[in-house]
């Protein structure tokens, strides 16, 4: 499921949205200040940004949309706002929002719009510094040179890419990779991760202490 960032200065609403969307399977980060929006956009890659138009009475929509699209043109941006006249919605769309949802809204509609934006902007390529991974052809290049992986390295890489932001435990990886997981030692995954990191950009795969591995 998509990784999304929700930004709203109403902290009670923000927490309810986060809980509801996480329950539906989304990987959600939730922030309540403009500075935190910038920090999270700089730190992580999102499929969709759900943005409240006003923070503390100040319309931050235009600045944040411009910043977010410069960081990631393939990020869908859904503006949510109590400003709901036709002119308000038109101005939001003209300033770069990909969708505009009036407050209050039904959670089912919010989810449907997030899914629609995620599908619309989903890229067929994962790009990280010098490494490009085509998610459809599974071709991998680093510094314009094609990278060849073993069967298990390839399966592991695309398993991690299938749920970006999700931390896979060693047991989950073993179950996904091997026909007889009961015969596999956990340190085999450490060795596999090490070999994979040597072939691709080593910073792509993150180790989450005591929990497992992930690609953000």
Q: What is the CATH number of the domain that holds 204?
A: 1.10.10.10
| 125: Cβ contacts below 8 Å, ≥ 6 apart | 132, 133, 134, 135
**Cβ neighbours, 10 Å, residue 191:** 10
pLDDT tens over the chain, length 216 residues = 678 999 999 999 999 999 999 988 888 999 999 999 999 998 887 889 999 999 988 999 999 999 999 888 888 999 999 998 999 999 999 999 999 999 999 999 999 999 999 888 776 778 788 888 888 788 999 988 999 999 999 999 999 988 877 889 999 999 999 888 888 888 899 999 999 999 999 899 999 988 999 987
Please, what sign has the CA dihedral across residues 101, 32, 58, 38? negative
Name the domain boundary from 62, 87, 121.
Answer: 121
**Cβ neighbours, 10 Å, residue 44:** 15
Give residue 55's domain range.
3-121
- Residues 134 and 112 grouped into a single domain: no
Task: From residue 100, give the alpha-carbon distance in Å to each of 51, 86, 166.
Answer: 9, 11, 28
| 196: Cβ contacts below 8 Å, ≥ 6 apart | 149, 153, 156, 157, 205
Q: Give the number of domains in the chain.
A: 2
């Amino acid at each position: 499921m998509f990784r999304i960032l929700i930004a709203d200065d109403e902290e009670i609403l923000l927490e309810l949205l986060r809980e509801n969307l996480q329950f539906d399977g989304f990987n959600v980060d939730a922030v309540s200040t403009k500075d935190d929006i910038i920090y999270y956009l700089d730190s992580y890659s999102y499929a969709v940004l759900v943005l409240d138009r006003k923070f503390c009475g100040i319309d931050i929509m235009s600045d944040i949309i411009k910043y977010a699209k410069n960081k990631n043109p393939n990020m869908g941006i859904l503006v949510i706002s109590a400003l709901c006249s036709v002119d308000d919605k038109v101005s939001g769309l003209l300033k770069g929002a990909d969708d505009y949802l009036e407050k209050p809204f039904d959670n089912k509609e919010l989810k449907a719009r997030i899914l629609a934006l995620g599908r619309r902007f989903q890229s067929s390529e994962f790009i990280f510094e010098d490494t490009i991974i085509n998610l459809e052809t599974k071709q991998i290049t680093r510094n314009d040179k094609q990278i060849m992986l073993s069967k298990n390295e390839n399966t592991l890489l695309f398993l991690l890419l299938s749920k970006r932001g999700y931390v896979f435990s060693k047991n989950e990886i073993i179950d996904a990779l091997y026909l007889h997981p009961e015969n596999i030692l956990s340190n085999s995954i450490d060795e596999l991760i090490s070999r994979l990191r040597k072939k691709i950009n080593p910073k792509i795969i993150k180790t989450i202490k005591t929990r497992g591995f992930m690609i953000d």
